[in-house]
Amino acid sequence: MAKIRINIATGSLQQEEMIVGIDLGTTNSLVAIIHPETKQPVVLKEYDGTALVPSVVHFGERGSITVGDEAKKYLITDPQNTIFSVKRLMGKSYNDIKEHSSFFTYKILDDDTDRLVKIQLGDRFYSPIELSSLILKELKNRAEHILKTSITRAVITVPAYFNDAQRQATRDAGKLAGLDVLRIVNEPTAASLAYGLGMKKEETKTVAVYDLGGGTFDISILRITNGIFEVLSTNGDTYLGGDDFDSAIAIHWQNQLNISDDQLRNDKSLAQSLRLRAEEAKIFLSSHSDFNSSVGDHIVGLKKDKFENLVRSFVERTISCCKNALQDAELSVADIDEVIMVGGSTRVPLVKEMVSEFFKKSLHDSMNPDEVVALGAA
Ligand code: AMP
């Protein structure tokens, strides 16, 4: 029988040995549980309401390790010791990633072999599994702190295209963080479950899951038959996402303000301010038509129409991926029953319009697109 205890803070009953669902993302991670009273999935939040934990790890001078928002602050000021996007390295060799090696600001060992990559920090070497385990350990600690109970069991999600080595690496990271990984679930499957698809028996549906995050785009075509999920095809671009929207805005302002590339290279804080203001503008324009602000002494502004012109070609690239995914699954648009929107960048109205127009369908976008994968995992 499961042990029951009382949470002193809330007075609520809690079941010992809760199982958590973890969305271990490239940019952000989060944890969800099934609420013991409502039996509904909920995302775990800190007192200030934050649920997303940036998937960033910083190694300080005296061996201190920080994860999440604290670590993110060091991305520009201490890039060699700040690990981001480690998910891109899971189960990969140097040969697999060398084409993109300039993307990483920290030191990835170039041994030009098919052995799994190592990351050098000072005189120590870390595997992506160890680094991911630090993120998972932080998520576990936060969950334990919020729930006031120990967490030892988890379901972790991975992209549908992850191969066996990448899935195993994710399991190993969980184990290293002190988690018994009960299941590895595909992210699009989790998102479908969050919307209640696949919960009914005798149901056959073909679903497209469109996932546009900060740095990656995935489209997955799934067939659900009697609650069994089959991945018919996946496509995407592992270097395309909301970060590209931010860059496009930052470059637009840089040109308007006549700031040279050299100037930006030498003034890291100006570069960072431009990027942060650009992201702010993008987010603001998801619900407004005009953004006005400043960067240092410079006045900057952006209208929604201009923003849409700046990012349209990126969204068109995602639509090409959708076409390829349909072709690989030997399906046409008319065969798709449901379209699910996942990832923070699907909040951009232009993205929703173009996806809806392509699939000729209304979209499942009522849930928080950052949370649906974790909720499904729960
Ligand atoms: P994810 O990787 O799913 O956490 O998505 C993160 C991306 O979503 C980042 O590029 C964010 O800037 C972007 N994002 C978050 N909220 C919004 C919003 N309201 N409008 C546009 N983009 C957003």
Residues 250-299 have pLDDT tens digits of 999 999 999 999 998 888 788 888 988 999 999 999 999 999 999 989 99
Helix (H, G, I), strand (E, B) or coil at 161: coil
Number of the ligand 1 atom closest to the C-alpha atom of 241 = 10
Q: Where are the alpha helices (DSSP H) in the chain?
A: 69-72, 74-77, 94-97, 128-147, 164-176, 187-194, 242-256, 261-266, 268-285, 304-328, 349-359, 372-377
pLDDT digits (tens, 9 = 90+) for 204-262: 999 999 999 999 999 999 999 999 999 999 999 999 999 999 999 999 999 999 999 99
Tell me what pLDDT residue 199 has. Answer: 85
With 0-12 / 13-18 / 19 or more C-beta atoms within 10 angstroms meaning exposed / middle / buried, residue 199 is exposed
Q: Is the confidence at residue 110, as pLDDT, over 90?
A: no
Residue type for position 364: H
pTM for the model stands at 0.93
**How many residues make up the chain in this entry?**
378
pLDDT: which is higher, 95 or 342: 342
Told to judge if 211 belongs to the known catalytic residues of this protein, a careful annotator would answer yes
Tell me what pLDDT residue 14 has. Answer: 53
Q: Which residue has the tokens 């934050």?
A: 50
Average pLDDT value for residue range 183-208: 94
Number of the ligand 1 atom closest to the C-alpha atom of 279 = 12
Average pLDDT value for residue range 175-185: 98
Told to judge if 187 belongs to the known catalytic residues of this protein, a careful annotator would answer yes
Number of the ligand 1 atom closest to the C-alpha atom of 28 = 4
Q: Supply the residue whose CA is at minimum distance from atom 8 of ligand 1.
A: 344
Whole-number mean pLDDT of the chain?
A: 93
Structure token pair of residue 46: 């800190």
Distance CA(191)–CA(363), nearest Å, equals 13
DSSP states of 265-290:
HH-HHHHHHHHHHHHHHHHHHTT-SE
Tell me what pLDDT residue 12 has. Answer: 52
Distance CA(63)–CA(58), nearest Å, equals 10
Q: Is the confidence at residue 4, as pLDDT, over 90?
A: no
Q: Supply the residue whose CA is at minimum distance from atom 1 of ligand 1.
A: 213
Tell me what pLDDT residue 73 has. Answer: 87
**Residue tagged active-site, from 130, 138, 187, 246:** 187
Tell me what pLDDT residue 184 has. Answer: 98
Q: Is the confidence at residue 11, as pLDDT, over 60?
A: no
Strands 41-43, 53-54: pairing is unpaired
Distance CA(231)–CA(325), nearest Å, equals 11
* Phi (first) and psi of residue 88, to 5 degrees: -65, -15
Instruction: For residue 55, give the DSSP letter.
Output: S
Told to judge if 87 belongs to the known catalytic residues of this protein, a careful annotator would answer yes
For residue 283, report the distance from its CA to the centre of ligand 1, in Å: 7
pLDDT digits (tens, 9 = 90+) for 73-99: 888 788 899 999 999 999 999 899 888
Tell me what pLDDT residue 1 has. Answer: 37
With 0-12 / 13-18 / 19 or more C-beta atoms within 10 angstroms meaning exposed / middle / buried, residue 261 is exposed
Q: Which residues pair with 121 in a beta bridge?
A: 124
Of 61-70, 99-108, 352-361, which gets the smallest average pLDDT? 99-108
Told to judge if 203 belongs to the known catalytic residues of this protein, a careful annotator would answer no
pLDDT digits (tens, 9 = 90+) for 14-55: 555 799 999 999 999 999 999 999 999 999 998 888 999 999
Mutate to test the pocket of ligand 1, among 283, 287, 365 (most ligand atoms within 8 A of CB): 283
Other CB atoms within 10 Å distance of the CB of residue 146: 17
Tell me what pLDDT residue 7 has. Answer: 58
Average pLDDT value for residue range 183-188: 98
Helix (H, G, I), strand (E, B) or coil at 357: helix
Distance CA(65)–CA(377), nearest Å, equals 28
- For residue 344 and ligand 1, the question of a CB distance below 6 A is answered with yes
For residue 252, give the nearest of 236, 222, 274 by alpha carbon.
274
For residue 322, report the distance from its CA to the centre of ligand 1, in Å: 20
For residue 213, report the distance from its CA to the centre of ligand 1, in Å: 6
The rounded percent of the chain whose pLDDT value lies above 90 is: 80
Band of residue 357 on the pLDDT scale cut at 50, 70, 90: very high
